[in-house]
Structure 1
């Protein structure tokens, strides 16, 4: 993997993870509007919600020097997802922390692209950023996500499972499993 610290651009065999640009909005909105992609989120997102997400991602990159980056196939400009590190915007027993997150266009599932991107993001976090630990979390029903966490070497910490504070108590997606990976 090659790193460009000035731009936080990560490259892998098949992918480029790069900072977001305003012109990425149509691709991000298309991904966020897909019910398959958003199955384990409260709802699909409107174009305005995707615009707000894009602004948050760009702001996070400026403020922290990292964020879930736009994912494109090598040789393409079309955004097929995002992957990278972020600081959760909510308080919990395990925060402050850095989490790894990803979202991939359903047309690209089953190709190990999310795994490839996540590995690059972990290497960047433990390498360039010098993090000691990176977390991830998902709902128990999101088998694709927690299986990916396990492929990355992350281990579930059942004692730290939590109800997401951004969702109402009893919501079908409230309960989250927490996974951890330490640099050592």
Structure 2
């Protein structure tokens, strides 16, 4: 996939199979996963399965989960995603923007920077006119990110 998005500090690109290992490290952290899905960390096998699914979605739709790396070093810091929130059928049809940053990179503004670029990509490059973000009400940090992005309840 030739998509490569840049911000001032970050590069966002479609997930590849090579992203499974660094993503598995993030997904294994209970603090990172606390408000995602059932709140449990994911195994390496679950992460590999999720990455393979993300790769297929890019091939099918031309958009999906973006690996987020530091532009100056190439270090994998997390993801920004455009996904159909199938786990919440009552809001469908919809596309969700989401983010997940490794804990050692928290507090640097990477989540809103990456999500803002994913939103731009969705609206400008794919003609989407509405995005949602499904955030657990107790996840104050992600609520703040959504607010920085101009999202409202």
Could you state the TM-score of these two structures normalised by the residue count of structure 1? Answer: 0.78
Matched length: 151
Q: Higher strand fraction: Structure 1 or Structure 2?
A: 1
Question: How many Å separate the matches in 2 of 1:90 and 1:99?
Answer: 11
Match of residue 62 from structure 2: 65
Q: Secondary structure at the match of 1:120?
A: helix
Question: Could you say which residue in structure 1 is the equivalent of 2:35?
Answer: 40
Match of 1:144 in 2: 141
Aligned to 2:11, which of 11, 16, 21? Answer: 16
Aligned-CA RMSD value = 1.3
User: Gapped runs of 5+ residues in structure 1?
Assistant: 1-5, 157-184
Instruction: Report what 2:82 is aligned to.
Output: 85
**Residue from 131, 135, 147 that aligns with 1:134:** 131
Q: Which has the higher helix share?
A: 2
Ranked by relative contact order (alpha carbons within 8 Å, sequence separation 6 or more), the top structure is 2
Distance in 2 of aligned mates of 1:60 and 1:100: 15
Distance in 2 between the 1:113 and 1:19 partners?
17
**TM-score normalised to structure 2 length:** 0.93
> For the residues of structure 1 that align with 2:54 and 2:42, how far apart are their CA atoms?
15
Give the gaps of 5 or more residues in structure 2.
none
TM-aligned CA deviation for residue 78 of structure 1:
2.8
Deviations along 1:89-124, one digit per CA (max 9) or x if unpaired, are: 345222011110110000011111111001101111
Instruction: Give the distance between the partners of 1:66 and 1:106, measured in 2 at CA.
Output: 25
SS for the counterpart of 2:133 is: strand
Which portions of structure 1, spanning 4 or more consecutive aligned residues, are displaced by more than 3 angstroms?
none
- For residues 147 and 91 of structure 1, do their structure 2 counterparts lie closer, same or farther at Cα, with a shift above 3 Å needed? closer
**Distance of 1:24 and 1:101 partners within structure 2:** 17
